Structure 1
Amino acid sequence: MSSIQGKEIDKVVIACDAGMGSSVMVASQLAKRLKPYSVKVQHTPVNEIPADAKLVLCQASLVARAKKNSTAVVIGFQSFLGDPVFDRVEAAIRDGGSLDG
């Protein structure tokens, strides 16, 4: 299992599968939440995760594919709205702390 310190995060990648746009909504909402911390949020297909990605969030069913396509810390979420993963990420960035994936 890999981990990253919240203070090291300057970009979060939301990876998706060619879906209905729910992950675009997640990226937009997370971008608003992380803007005060100068953290960018990027949306990308799970098979095209950028090489410079340090933290990738994706639906739990895509975690294995994301890990196969990236060396970043990959954390899965269950729900597109209100999942505790998003709160954990914001808290780690805001307060410092470790995120494991």
Structure 2
Amino acid sequence: MTTINGSDVGKVVIACDAGMGSSALLKAQLSKTLAPYSVKVEHTAVNKIPADADVVLCHQGLADRARKSAPDTVVLPFQMFIGDPVFAKLEAAIKAGEPIAG
């Protein structure tokens, strides 16, 4: 399991599969939420996660593929694109500078 300190997070990537509709909405939401902490949010295909990603968010069904695509990056799976508790936990860890593991 990979870990990063919340204060070291500069880039969050939302990884999706075929379409980018739901991930684009999530990107817009998280960009606003994480802007006060100077965290950049992007979305990309799960097989093309950029090497400079600090944290990857992806639907639970894509977590194994995301971990293979970015083996040294924290991968946080979620179940719901809107309102999943993982998003609030990520923000809280970034705000407090606490460890994030995934």
TM-score range, shorter chain: over 0.9
1:76-95, aligned counterparts within 5 Å?
76-95=77-96
Q: Which amino acid aligns with 1:53?
A: A
The count of corresponding residues between Structure 1 and Structure 2 is 101
SS at match of 1:12: strand
- Cα deviation, residue 19, structure 1: 2.6
Structure 1 residues 46, 20: CA separation in 2 closer, same or farther (over 3 Å shift)? closer
How far, CA to CA, are the matches of 2:86 and 2:6 in structure 1?
Answer: 13
Q: Could you say what secondary structure the match of 1:80 adopts?
A: coil
| Partner residue, 2:57 | 57
Letter in 1 for 2:12: V
For 1:96 and 1:20, the matched residues in 2 are separated by: 30
In the alignment, structure 2 segments of 5+ residues that lack a partner are none
Q: Which runs of 5+ in 1 are unaligned?
A: none
The answer to whether 1:39 aligns with 2:39 is yes
1:68 is aligned to: 68
Cα distance in 2 for partners of 1:60, 1:100 equals 15
- Kept in 1: contact 2:11–2:52 (CA 8 A): no
Distance 2:9 2:22 in 1: 23
What is the alpha-carbon distance in structure 1 between the residues aligned to residue 23 and residue 67 of structure 2? 18
Identity %: 57
How far apart, in 2, do the equivalents of 1:95 and 1:53 lie? 20
Q: 1:48 to 1:22 in 2, by over 3 A?
A: same
With normalisation by structure 1, the TM-score equals 0.96
